[in-house]
Amino acid sequence: MNKAELIEAVAIECDITRPAAARAVDSVLANIERTLKKGDEVRLLGFGTFSVVERAARKGRNLKTNETIDIPARKIPKFAAGKNLKDSVE
């Protein structure tokens, strides 16, 4: 499912127009992104948790030249599925 299909599904299930569903989906995604940028986490009970984790600096290898390179530390988003989501997929 892509974003357009998600918007269509929300519009049908909530009996609202596509533009209204698009605003709702965009708002949810923007709020999750804004919260993660602040370093906080978003917990959706039964669905999962979005958080930010620090990936440590490490050594890598350029496969073309076989040269060792330094990969800097950085923050990355992480999603951990909740129990209900895990159970529904099985």
Residues 32 and 68 in one domain: no
Judgement on whether residues 34 and 18 belong to the same structural domain of the protein = yes
Does residue 21 register a pLDDT over 90? yes
| Same structural domain, 87 and 52 | yes
Q: 28-39, pLDDT tens digit by residue?
A: 999 999 999 999
Do 46 and 31 belong to one domain? no
pLDDT digits (tens, 9 = 90+) for 58-83: 999 999 999 999 999 999 999 999 99
- Domain span at 21: 1-39
Structure tokens, 56: 């440590």
29 and 56 co-located in one domain: no
What pLDDT is attached to residue 52?
96
The number of beta carbons lying within 10 Å of the beta carbon of residue 24 is: 15
Asked whether residue 79 falls in the same domain as residue 51, the answer is: yes
13 and 53 co-located in one domain = no
∠ CA 45-2-11 to the nearest 5 degrees? 70
Identify whether residues 28 and 45 lie together within a single domain: no
